[in-house]
Amino acid sequence: MPFNAKIKVTLRQSILDVQGKAVEHALKNLGYAAVDSARIGKYIEVNINESDQAEAERICNEICQKLLSNPVMENYTFELEHVN
């Protein structure tokens, strides 16, 4: 049974998020004073045609490390869901 991987990639907390700062300032200028901060990331969905969940997790980790994220600057998390 294949899996759908829902992947979130975000900048590490120690990295300045210029886009997030721009959004934060724009929201405050629009009157949303309650907004303390904003950070921008990426959301990616990948279908993995693998029946073994451990192998699907290995593949997902590998593609995140090799292509979808920059391990020096970004963190990633993912969830796997069975596809019917």
pLDDT in tens, 16-32: 999 999 999 999 999 99
Weakly modelled stretches of the chain, pLDDT under 70 = none
Residue 1 is predicted with a pLDDT of 76
Q: Helices in the chain by DSSP H: which ranges?
A: 18-29, 53-63
- What per-residue confidence (pLDDT) applies to 37? 94
- 83 close to 3: Cβ distance less than 8 angstroms: yes
Q: What is the pLDDT of residue 76?
A: 98
Match domain 3-82 to its CATH number in 3.20.20.210, 3.10.20.30, 3.30.1280.10, 3.50.50.60. 3.30.1280.10
